[in-house]
């Protein structure tokens, strides 16, 4: 009975949330334009698709915001759910550490363009 309850909880939790949103607040370094950051994001999404990842990203640029946040941009990543995000995050950064992969190139390029200020995860209902 206890195992049945655990199974039900896991299944119900997966259906309760439509997807997982990965939100990274970034401060541009000034070494890249916003358009160049968008190109890197597009390269990222192309690699994600070609290698079978479910994660996709957008970059949000504030039109108006509270004082002190207009000089930030936001990376908004979407995965089907939190477990999927976790496994793909691990897989992606394992590829980054190999050094000569598309993932490593993307991280190097982004490293020139931005500094991560904060990162949050959200389960969308």
**Residue 80 is part of which domain span?**
17-124
Residue at 70 is within a domain: yes
The rounded distance, in Å, linking the Cα atoms of 102 and 99 is 9
Residue at 3 is within a domain: no
**Prediction pTM value:** 0.80
Number of domains in the chain: 1
Confidence band for 1, pLDDT divided at 50, 70 and 90: low
Report the share of the chain in percent with pLDDT over 70: 82
Joined tokens for residue 24:
């990274």
Residue at 76 is within a domain: yes
Nearest to 28 by CA among 121, 117, 118: 117
The rounded distance, in Å, linking the Cα atoms of 95 and 105 is 10
Give 117's strand partners.
Answer: none
């Amino acid at each position: 009975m206890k195992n049945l309850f655990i199974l039900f909880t896991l299944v119900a939790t997966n259906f309760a949330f439509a997807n997982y949103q990965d939100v990274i607040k970034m401060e541009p370094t000034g070494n890249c334009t916003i358009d160049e950051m968008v190109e890197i994001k597009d390269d990222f999404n192309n690699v994600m698709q070609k290698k079978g990842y479910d994660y996709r990203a957008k970059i949000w640029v504030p039109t108006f915001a509270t004082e002190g946040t207009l000089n930030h941009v936001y990376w908004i990543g979407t995965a089907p759910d939190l477990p999927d995000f976790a496994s793909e995050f691990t897989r992606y950064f394992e590829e980054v550490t190999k050094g000569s992969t598309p993932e490593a190139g993307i991280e190097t390029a982004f490293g020139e363009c931005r500094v991560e200020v904060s990162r949050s995860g959200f389960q969308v209902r």
